[in-house]
Amino acid sequence: KTYHRILLTGAAGGLGTALRSRLLANCEVLRLSDKANLGEAQAGEEIALADLADAAAVDAAVAGCDAIVHLGGISVEAPFEAILQANILGLYHLYEAARKHGVKRVVFASSNHVTGFYKQSETITADHPARPDSYYGVSKAFGEDFSRFYFDRYGIETACVRIGSSFPEPKDRRMLATWLSFDDLHRLISACLSTPVLGHSIVFGMSDNAVTWWDNSRAKHIGYVPQDSSDVFRDAVFARTPAPDLNDPAAIYQGGGFVKADPFKKA
């Protein structure tokens, strides 16, 4: 196994739950963290509850870990003050703890919403400038820059994985382009954790979907080879969803509904 102890933040969430069993293949000990209840530790697991806004709690969760898979934080559009605490201050607390405790590598769950204001008719690479579509997307763009600074200044390697839509199945037509299966998510994170030289890298987290807006040619050194595809769901998704209104910003831009999300409306 590549690592002795990996910290998984956001372990109580949708992706955290999907990775909780899978990441045990990558380490001897998987330390789970969240501010929400994580239940009992299973074999090979440790639990370290922490609010990302609490520097001391984050420091304690990071101490003794070799690598971090950082999924914790607000995962949709929300008021700026909430995003500030979890996604911006939280990132600072996490990287400061990583620096103090000598963590060498981080996989950061960034998001396609860093570039959500590119059009669905455009193909972009990791070299295209950020065009965030929400406070949430801006916070992930901050995370990408912040982790680049910690790489250039302190040598902590980070993969910023711009996850598309990682759910059991694509929920709508947009997700046929953005879908990332849970198994491919684990393959991608494993590749980020094990590639000999990661540096500071940005990679789009997507399965091998026929329709795509993202070109991962800048991330070949990660060695990620997706095995799944949204194509098997295509007919069923088309049958159960209406044709999009092509004047709707949600159908024009890659970020879909996030480009018109109201941060003050409760989800």
**Beta strands at 3-9 and 67-70: parallel, antiparallel or unpaired:** parallel
Segment interacting with ligand 15L (CB under 6 A) among 24-32, 93-101, 110-118, 229-237:
110-118
Of the pair 168, 196, the CB lying nearest ligand 15L is at: 168
Please work out the total of residues on this chain that contact ligand 15L, with binding judged by CB under 6 A: 8
* Per-residue binder mask for ligand 15L (CB under 6 A), 138-167, x = binder: ---------------------------x--
Distance from the Cα of residue 219 to its chain's centroid: 15
* 116-to-33, 133, 187 alpha-carbon distances in Å: 29, 5, 24
DSSP string, 29-89: EEEEE-SS---S--TTEEE----TT-HHHHHHHHTT-SEEEE--S--S---HHHHIIIIII
Q: Which residues pair with 161 in a beta bridge?
A: 109, 203
Least separation in angstroms between CB 200 and ligand 15L:
20
Q: Which of ligand NAI, ligand 15L, none does 34 bind, CB closer than 5 to 8 A by kind? A: ligand NAI
**Considering only residues 25-54, where is the footprint of ligand NAI by CB under 6 A?**
34-36, 51-53
Least separation in angstroms between CB 239 and ligand 15L:
20
Among 6, 62, 156, 163, binds ligand NAI (CB under 6 A): 163
What would the two tokens of residue 120 be?
A: 């669905």
